[in-house]
Amino acid sequence: MSTKKTAQMRLGLDKAPSRDRAQKATRLWLRMLTASRTIEEEIGRRLREEYGISLARFDLMSVLHRHDEGLTMSEVGRHLRVSGGNVTGLVDRLEKEGLVARQQHPSDRRSIVVCLTPRGHEIFVNMAKHHKEWVAEILAWLGDHEIDELYDLLTTVRDSALDAAQQNSDMKEAG
């Protein structure tokens, strides 16, 4: 038996959750969604007011900033977890503003690579600096220890969700 399965059994996670635990988990999930959406809305509002840019466009620029060589449209979509149509619309608007450029893929003529322009890079670096300051301001009520603890707990939540998705996928394949 795997170490993971043994740990699940020890914690009682190998059985269906009790009604009380399911209710608590649902309340936690709703609280996480509310907190995340509240932060996203505030960051989005500030980006629109200060830079006239949406959070989605900021996120696309952030992905490209981490990949100097650029990314294909499908790679951008995977990073952002959005459809190709959404990526195309975001890239179109950023390209019109001179913040990104499309280039032919060096080894695949059918693919287009998107990258930040020098102007896009400069603007993004400034936005990112403010973005970090805004997030720190929004989370100002949390001390360093609480931030570290919450980060670790949310990592566990993410890992649990990924594991549940994998188990569900495995069950569908087996069934």
Question: Which pTM was predicted?
Answer: 0.80
Phi, psi of 76 (to 5 degrees): -60, -45
**How confident is the prediction along the chain (175 residues), in pLDDT tens digits per residue?**
555 555 455 555 566 778 898 999 999 999 999 999 999 999 999 999 999 999 999 999 999 999 989 999 889 989 988 877 788 999 999 999 999 999 988 888 888 899 999 999 999 999 999 999 999 999 999 999 999 999 999 999 999 999 988 888 788 888 7
Joined together, the tokens standing for residue 101 give 């450029």
CATH of domain 32-140: 1.10.10.10
* Contact between residue 79 and residue 87 where contact means Cβ atoms under 8 Å apart: no
As a whole number of angstroms, the distance between CA 74 and CA 87 comes to 8
Phi, psi of 54 (to 5 degrees): -80, 160
pLDDT (0 to 100) of residue 133: 97
* Contact between residue 93 and residue 100 where contact means Cβ atoms under 8 Å apart: no
